[in-house]
Amino acid sequence: MTGRRTALITGANRGIGRAVGFELYRRGLDIVVTARDGHAAAATAAEIGPDVRSCALDVTDSDSVRSACTAVGRVDILVCNAGVLLDAGTDPLSVPLDLVDRTLAVNLLGAWRLAQAFVPDMVRRGWGRVVFVSSGTTAEFGGSLFAGAPGYSVSKAALNGLMTMTAAQTAGSGVLVNAVNPGRARTRMMPAVTRPPEEAARDIADTVTVADSSPTGRFLSGRSR
Ligand SMILES: NC(=O)c1ccc[n+]([C@@H]2O[C@H](COP(=O)([O-])OP(=O)(O)OC[C@H]3O[C@@H](n4cnc5c(N)ncnc54)[C@H](OP(=O)(O)O)[C@@H]3O)[C@@H](O)[C@H]2O)c1
């Protein structure tokens, strides 16, 4: 391939996604900032750098994903970062299931929709990197999920499952698929935390700027690095 790799980031108008945009730009990649609000995406893109592209993209909306796919063209690196935490402080036996439904729509099905839209082309071209931004609430694999945000925890555990299946299906194709727990970072989702989102963004960027010989299908925990 000639030219630079192109990275598309979902939910990149603020928080960790925005910081990932800055970090990957700093590492020399072409960036596409996406956000539900196209104006917010454009404003963030302009802040990152003069040659950074932007696109409106709502991960819950198939038409929006299709339009973004057409408008953006080739994507080599996909960062599925968009996420919501709607059910903090609830428990599995009383959480309103509409909150769980809305959480799964963004955190699981949104990422799944993006993978279906962009990964097949990566496989055809024989090169790609995908990172699903997961969470420590999944207790990695096997252990107890965090029950204080049950819909969120289940959505991220399921996202890890999606990662393993996508990695298995793309194995040997040149596409590496992993999930990252970015660790807690101060964002609108986690306003009381002191760790800056730039630190989480570096862990995510490390996962998508790896060599071709690097592993696929892993759940990486930023805090353990
Ligand atoms: N912060 C932490 O401590 C922490 C820890 C572990 C994992 N994470 C994960 O890190 C990721 C980023 O979280 P954050 O802390 O940066 O949260 P945040 O500041 O709340 O940002 C969430 C981002 O997701 C976007 N989003 C929500 N629904 C969307 C949709 N339907 N389509 C497209 N974008 C959508 C938001 O866009 P709008 O501005 O339009 O709402 C926003 O850009 C999430 O997946 C989260 O679960 C965060």
**186/14 Cα distance (integer angstroms):** 11
Range list of β-strands (E), 51-127: 53-56, 77-80
- Cα 83 to ligand 1 centroid, rounded to whole Å: 4
66, part of any domain: yes
75, part of any domain: yes
Q: What is the domain count for the chain?
A: 1
Report how far apart, in Å, the C-alpha atoms of 203 and of each of 26, 37, 55, 131 are.
Answer: 14, 26, 24, 11
User: For the domain that residue 197 is a member of, what is the CATH number?
Assistant: 3.40.50.720
Q: Maximum Cα–Cα distance for the chain, whole Å?
A: 54
Q: Which of 9, 36, 181 to mutate to test the pocket of ligand 1 (most atoms within 8 A of CB)?
A: 36
Q: Which residues carry out catalysis?
A: 152
1, part of any domain: no
Residues with CB under 6 A from ligand 1: 10-11, 13-17, 35-37, 58-60, 81-84, 106, 110, 133, 135, 182, 184-185, 187-190, 193
Domain holding 163, by residue range, is 6-224
**154/173 Cα distance (integer angstroms):** 29
For each of the chain's 225 residues, which pLDDT tens digit applies?
557 999 999 999 999 999 999 999 999 999 999 999 999 999 999 999 999 999 999 999 999 999 999 999 999 999 999 999 999 999 999 999 999 999 999 999 999 999 999 999 999 999 999 999 999 876 555 567 889 999 999 999 999 999 999 999 999 999 999 999 999 999 999 999 999 999 999 999 999 999 999 999 999 986 544
Contact by Cβ (8 Å): 49, 27: no
218, part of any domain: yes
104, part of any domain: yes
